[in-house]
Amino acid sequence: MNEIKCPNCQTVFQIDEADYQSIVKQIRDQEFEKEISEREKQYQIDKENSIQLTTSKLEKVHQEELHKQEEKVLQLNQQLEHIEKDLTHEFEKKQSETVHELEKKYSDDVQKKSMEILDLKNQIQLLEKEKEIVVKDAVVEKEKEIDHLQNQLVVIEQEAKLKEKGLIDSYEEKIKSREEQISYYKDFKARQSTKMIGESLEQHCSVEFNQLRPLFGKDVYFEKDNDAKTGSKGDFIYREKDEDGIEFISIMFEMKNEADETSSKHKNEDFLKELDKDRREKNCEYAVLVSLLEMDNDFYNNGIVDMSHKYPKMYVVRPQFFIPLITLLRGASLNSLQYKKELVRVQNQNLDITHFEENLIDFKEKFGRNYRLASERFQKAIEEIDKSIEHLQKIKDNLIKSEDNLRLANSKAEDLSITKLTRNAPSVHELFDQLKED
């Protein structure tokens, strides 16, 4: 039984399913008939406006052609009048000449002018014929254009009727699909055994997502949660990253269902705590319970239910809202993706600053150690240089003393002579004297 509230008297009354479908059909038929009638009126108005516009254009072109032909005829008449005036003037001028010459010349001129007049009349006739042909061709051409426009109007009307029929068929198909979907979910649990209830709902959601997977990004992960290291696990995990590899959305899904004949009835709230625990352990941003429990509870039947007042970022939905909820959460996350990228960039900057400070401290420590070692070795080198200077000074003093001895030796060598050498050796002295004599 369906309840209907009167908008005027606020009276609530109940009707059965057959009456409810009859009222829906009446409202739907009235709306379709009204829309079709309005579109037919609009097409008729467009058709009349197009015919009037074409007719006015044809009349304007016809008037222009007639005006041009009349101007040509007027010009020829003016030329004819001018020739007649020239003849009259010339005739009066030649009256003083002899009659014979006048008659002869006048005869020739008259014959010549008669020929010219005849030619002009022929030209006028040809122009009138051309005028009739042009007007006739223009009329035929415009009639063809009118026929072409009328054919186009017929085609447009046919296309409009086909579109209307397509809209009607599409609307009826949607209604039929929605009714079948409602019937499917009403009979979903009745058509299955208790053992297959949970698996069927998971399979249903998996099929629904895989059918629409190409509509999501290329870096989409949607798989069963098989990690039970923490003692429990959800049913499915959804994750998606952008082109830079930044994860901008993650959802933990849990599917719950039970048969109508089950003695112990569960409630949706019985599974929220465990679902929130799985979400936090698997590091997911959102948690969603896809449930067919409490089918008579309107709180869960009216759409997406936000349970964030009990558990953060948690929602409860029926299976028909499984894909729309993913779309909504994904759209919201895409809108905030730029802020997440900025946050990651700032975090990386802070990390870079930390690394820079660590590198600076490490550099200072290594530089201080190297400076200390270099200073110690520099001091040792100075001590060795001082020792070397002292040693070289001793060497210098010894060299100076050696130089004094060499100078004394040189002086002694310069004072040396044969006389001094043979002073105590007379035989050697005599030998040297004998050599000098030789």
Angle at 433 between CA 431 and CA 437, to 5 degrees: 115
Confidence (pLDDT) at 314: 94
Tell me the per-residue pLDDT of 169-214, one tens digit each, with 9 for 90 and over.
877 887 777 677 666 655 554 444 333 444 578 888 888 888 888 8
Domain ranges of the chain: 27-184, 195-335
Output the pLDDT for position 218: 76
Torsion of CA 230, 293, 215, 338, to 10 degrees: -60
> Could you say which DSSP state residue 235 is in?
S
- Given this structure, which CATH class describes domain 195-335? alpha beta
What is the mean pLDDT of the segment spanning 271-292? 92
pLDDT tier, 27 (very low <50, low <70, confident <90, very high otherwise): low
Q: Which carries the bigger pLDDT value, residue 45 or residue 137?
A: 45
Give the model's pLDDT for residue 357: 73
3-state secondary structure at position 184: helix
More confident call, 344 vs 56: 56
109: three-class secondary structure by DSSP = helix
Nearest by Cα to 329 from 311, 341, 339, 315: 315
Average pLDDT, rounded, for the chain: 76
- Let me know the angle formed at the C-alpha of 316 by 311 and 322, rounded to the nearest 5 degrees: 135
Contact 160, 43 (CB under 8 A): yes
Most confident region among 97-106, 200-209, 246-255 by mean pLDDT: 246-255
Residues, the chain, total? 438
Kindly tell me if the per-residue pLDDT of 422 is higher than 60.
yes
The predicted model gives 404-413 an average pLDDT of 78
Confidence (pTM): 0.38
Please give the pLDDT value at position 311: 93
Q: 309-326, pLDDT tens digit by residue? A: 999 999 999 988 999 999
The answer to whether residue 22 scores a pLDDT higher than 90 is no
Task: Kindly state the average pLDDT of the residues 223-228.
Answer: 81
**The pLDDT of residue 394 is above 80:** yes
Average pLDDT over residues 61-75: 77
CA 237 to chain CA mean position, Å: 28
> In the chain, pLDDT over 70 holds for what percent of residues?
76
242/280: higher pLDDT: 280
Residue of higher predicted confidence among 110 and 224: 224
Model confidence at 96: pLDDT above 60: no
Residue 358 φ/ψ, nearest 5 degrees = -65, -45
